[in-house]
Chain A
Amino acid sequence: MRAAIRNIAAVACVGALLSACSTGTTPEATQSDAPSADPNQEVTLSVATFNEFGYEELFEEYMADNPNVTIEHRKAATSNEARDNMNTRLAAGSGLADIEAIEVDWLTELMQYSDKFTDLADPELDGRWLDWKVEAVTTEDGKVIGYGTDVGPEAICYRADLFEQAGFPTDREEVADLLEGDWDTYFNVGKDFVANSDGVAWFDSASATFQGMVNQVENPFENSDGTPIPLAENDEIKSIYDDIATAAVDDNLSAGLAQWSEDWTNAFQTDKFATMLCPGWMLGVIEGNAEGVEGWDIANVFPGGGGNWGGSYLTVPAQSENPEHAKKLAAWLTAPEQQIKAFESKGTFPSQVEALEDPALLDSTNAFFNDAPTGQILADRANAIEVQPFKGPNYFALAQLVTDALNRLDVEGTDDAASSWDKAVEAYAALGLS
């Protein structure tokens, strides 16, 4: 029910273009040379996040330490909603929160409009984050538009109870050995599982699995100079698409669910699938959706080595009326000690160098996942990441084309693999990129 209410609120904000969710009028965008604000002034800061950032308790803590600050939390259910909301209000020049969380997949789009964000560069914070995490938000002239929150090192989450029913090993070490290898290994083990299980699929969704595969490609959709690779000529993506389409549909490994949909959420309660790709931030999502289900566990393994899916930043839009206060809060929220608390709350894995070595992180376990040492596992998974895919200004739009294509055959069943790919190529032409 709580989720439903949250959905309503989030969607109401996104759905109505001129919604009443905006905070009223904002003055002309303030430049970063705004005078320093009085630190004790009464101020209300709005923070917009999506999915599960694990900030609820941190907000309380900050407000207790800073009695003059009131934090208003706006939580969107999905990152797509948050993105629509962001674009709309960025264009309108008003209505954004003082702190807007952004997802790494749409970051590159926004980097083109870095003048719409407050410069957060701060010599004191040098070396706080992993290098690649900061590079992604730094413009050519040295402006920093966001503070890193989390990264998404991926492991495999699995249902030990369903594994047992299929005669599979249940211990997380053994499962890791079983799945060690490339994607073909993962799919082959899946075939074996589906043959021995009573109608339980191997993974939840083709498009979600595709995400994991794409995040191991150097240049998934664009050349390193930012020009798009025409989809019809993109052999690398085509072969990944063919692999996942075969695995999902022909081999019946997929439960045919679109992530975040009503059916997907309910499937956690009805034993529809046994494994899923599991970036750190997904742990909190699984725990919420699979409430009362026993048997979830996490294996220290990922097909094809390591992979990063997602991860976010906190930005302060230039339209914020309290950029100084917002910057201070964003810096506090993304400090190593706070990020560790967020990790403990929802599994969002830190992008802060100090936090990665912190015993509090490495020794942390997750009760829902059978007391798995999630901190250590995700730290190992982060160390296994070899590729940071290049994501240019059109990454989001192009990834969406293939995601749609996979949903057509995996979820909605309107097309077969070939015709669905043709539609994606057609849609690429409609984008008018050149």
Chain B
Amino acid sequence: MKELTWRQRLSRFDVKASPYLYISPFFILFFIVGLFPLAYTAWVSVHEWHLIGGQGDLVGFTNYTDVVQQPNFYKALRNTFSIFLLSSVPQVLAAIVIAYLLDTNLRAKTFWRMGVLLPFVVAPVAVSLIFAKIFADQSGLVNAVLELMGATGIAWHGDPFAAHVAIATMVNFRWTGYNALIFLAAMQAIPREIYEAAIVDGAARWRTFFSVTVPMLRPTIIFVVITSTIGGLQIFDEPRMFDTLGQGGADRQWMTLTMYIYELGWGAQKNFGRAAAVSWLLFLIIVLVGVVNFLITRSIASSASGKAGR
């Protein structure tokens, strides 16, 4: 074994170390804008901390015990999950169907594909303003139509469930097309021979969809469900813009967790400590729901592909 020259050693080091150097920007950036705020939020959450007054005493877990005793925390939790389910579930299902339709032989393919992305480019605040006009209780379009048909108008801003449906509509309007394009990209990658084989075997269209397309989309479905979960549980813009006061209703019928954080930190209390505590609780909830989602999606996707053999 001959001693390596300096140059050889350098080149070996280069080969070993370079990849890390190339990926480092992301991790450095993540450390600054992701990990540090996370840790700092934890630091704030164990202190008394006033929005304008600044840092106070170290109080341990008092902020956490304070917020979990407040009815508004549970209201926010309920609203967040309700809006999340009403938006994410129909959204993912609709996105798969839309993607499947876009994957067929259409004329002016690109036009249709770009079309579904249009709602996504509109600013959420603008969307909310338009939907505020549509869902206004006394002067809104939806209630006007309902009253024309002889039904009574719905209390979009009174009844919690109605408010959640209205907000979920805004969210779906914005995100369904975006997710459809992700699914479409994944569908394009499915080898056409499999479809041909299925057709030769005499499978009907819906059968190919459920037995070929959906199982082959498994990784993409997992990805979309996880990202929708993260986004859905952090929803803020749409419910905040649902009325002019932006508190989530007089009875907090549609106040989500992020709005609750905002109210604690920037609202009447200006209590950053409590706001940070809820932020951490939200983080843990998202991680938990994300893991559960992952497991459920994995089993659905694998059982679907298992059925394909029968």
B309 to chain A, nearest CB (A): 51
Chain A residue nearest to B139 in the complex (CB)? A266
Bound complex: CA A270 to CA B270 (Å): 39
Q: B158–A15 contact, CB under 8 A?
A: no
Q: Which of B139, B155, B236, B249 contacts A262 (CB 8 A)?
A: B139
Q: B250–A8 contact, CB under 8 A?
A: no
Chain B residue nearest to A87 in the complex (CB)? B266
Residue B218 at the chain A interface, CB threshold 8 Å: no
Chain A residue nearest to B132 in the complex (CB)? A262
Residue B71 at the chain A interface, CB threshold 8 Å: yes
Q: B270–A87 contact, CB under 8 A?
A: yes
Counting contact residues on chain B (CB < 8 A from A), the size range is 35 or more
Residues of A within 8 A of B250 (CB): 258, 403-408, 411-412, 414
Chain B residue nearest to A7 in the complex (CB)? B129
B25 to chain A, nearest CB (A): 21
Bound complex: CA A256 to CA B266 (Å): 28
Residues of A within 8 A of B269 (CB): 397, 431-432
Evaluate whether A78 and B244 lie within 8 angstroms (CB atoms) in the complex, with A7-B129, A266-B139, A432-B269 already known: yes
Chain A residue nearest to B245 in the complex (CB)? A80
Bound complex: CA A408 to CA B253 (Å): 10
Could you count the A-B residue pairs with CB atoms below 8 Å apart for me: how many are there? 115
What per-residue 1/0 map shows which CB atoms of B114-133 lie under 8 Å from chain A?
00000000010110010011
Residue B174 at the chain A interface, CB threshold 8 Å: no
Q: A270–B139 contact, CB under 8 A?
A: yes
Residue A91 at the chain B interface, CB threshold 8 Å: yes
Residue A257 at the chain B interface, CB threshold 8 Å: yes
Residue B157 at the chain A interface, CB threshold 8 Å: yes
Bound complex: CA A367 to CA B75 (Å): 49
Residues of A within 8 A of B138 (CB): 256-257, 263, 266-267, 272
Residues of A within 8 A of B246 (CB): 14-15, 80-81, 84
A292 to chain B, nearest CB (A): 16
Residue A59 at the chain B interface, CB threshold 8 Å: no
Residues of A within 8 A of B82 (CB): none
Q: B136–A263 contact, CB under 8 A?
A: yes
Q: Which of A262, A272, A431 contacts B268 (CB 8 A)?
A: A431
A346 to chain B, nearest CB (A): 20
Q: A413–B155 contact, CB under 8 A?
A: yes
- Tell me the A382-430 residues at the B interface (CB within 8 Å): 394, 396-397, 400, 403-408, 411-415, 423, 426-427, 430
Q: B244–A262 contact, CB under 8 A?
A: yes
Chain B residue nearest to A404 in the complex (CB)? B250
What per-residue 1/0 map shows which CB atoms of B247-282 lie under 8 Å from chain A?
101110100000000000011111100000000000
Residue B52 at the chain A interface, CB threshold 8 Å: yes
Residues of B within 8 A of A11 (CB): 125, 129, 241
Q: A77–B251 contact, CB under 8 A?
A: no
Chain A residue nearest to B251 in the complex (CB)? A414
What per-residue 1/0 map shows which CB atoms of A85-113 lie under 8 Å from chain B?
00110110000000000000000000011
- Tell me the A289-333 residues at the B interface (CB within 8 Å): none
Q: B123–A12 contact, CB under 8 A?
A: yes
Q: B253–A414 contact, CB under 8 A?
A: yes
Q: Which of A12, A78, A266 contacts B125 (CB 8 A)?
A: A12
B240 to chain A, nearest CB (A): 6
Residues of A within 8 A of B140 (CB): 262-263
Q: B251–A260 contact, CB under 8 A?
A: no
Bound complex: CA A15 to CA B126 (Å): 12
For the complex, count residues of A whose C-beta is within 8 A of B: 51
Bound complex: CA A397 to CA B268 (Å): 5
Bound complex: CA A8 to CA B246 (Å): 14
Bound complex: CA A91 to CA B53 (Å): 8
- Tell me the A258-301 residues at the B interface (CB within 8 Å): 258, 260-263, 266-267, 270, 272
Residues of B within 8 A of A81 (CB): 246
Chain A residue nearest to B128 in the complex (CB)? A11
Residue A4 at the chain B interface, CB threshold 8 Å: yes
Residues of A within 8 A of B155 (CB): 412-413
Chain B residue nearest to A423 in the complex (CB)? B251
Residue A133 at the chain B interface, CB threshold 8 Å: no
Bound complex: CA A327 to CA B199 (Å): 79
Residue B137 at the chain A interface, CB threshold 8 Å: yes
Residue B243 at the chain A interface, CB threshold 8 Å: yes
B190 to chain A, nearest CB (A): 39
Bound complex: CA A113 to CA B138 (Å): 42
Chain A residue nearest to B241 in the complex (CB)? A11
Q: Which of A112, A272, A403, A408 contacts B251 (CB 8 A)?
A: A408
Bound complex: CA A7 to CA B133 (Å): 13
Residues of B within 8 A of A403 (CB): 250
Residue B51 at the chain A interface, CB threshold 8 Å: yes
Residue B169 at the chain A interface, CB threshold 8 Å: no
Residue A116 at the chain B interface, CB threshold 8 Å: yes
Q: Which of B52, B137, B240, B268 contacts A91 (CB 8 A)?
A: B52
Residues of B within 8 A of A87 (CB): 51-52, 266, 270
Q: B268–A412 contact, CB under 8 A?
A: no
Residues of A within 8 A of B123 (CB): 8, 12
A415 to chain B, nearest CB (A): 7
Residues of B within 8 A of A413 (CB): 155, 158
Bound complex: CA A165 to CA B171 (Å): 45
Q: B268–A396 contact, CB under 8 A?
A: yes
Bound complex: CA A91 to CA B270 (Å): 10
Q: A400–B244 contact, CB under 8 A?
A: no
B136 to chain A, nearest CB (A): 4
Evaluate whether A88 and B136 lie within 8 angstroms (CB atoms) in the complex, with A8-B129, A15-B125, A15-B241 already known: no
Q: Can you sample 5 A-B contacts with CB below 8 Å?
A: A4-B129, A91-B52, A261-B245, A412-B253, A414-B251
Q: Which residues in B have some Cβ–Cβ distance to A below 8 Å?
A: 51-53, 66, 70-72, 123, 125-126, 129, 132-133, 136-140, 155, 157-159, 236-237, 240-241, 243-247, 249-251, 253, 266-271
Q: Which residues in A have some Cβ–Cβ distance to B below 8 Å?
A: 4, 7-8, 11-12, 14-15, 77-78, 80-81, 84, 87-88, 90-91, 112-113, 116, 256-258, 260-263, 266-267, 270, 272, 394, 396-397, 400, 403-408, 411-415, 423, 426-427, 430-432
- Closest CB pairs A-B (n = 4): A397-B268, A407-B250, A266-B139, A412-B158
Given contacts A266-B138, A404-B247, 15 further A-B contacts (CB under 8 A): A15-B125, A87-B266, A91-B51, A112-B53, A258-B245, A261-B243, A261-B244, A262-B136, A262-B140, A262-B243, A263-B140, A412-B155, A414-B158, A414-B253, A432-B66
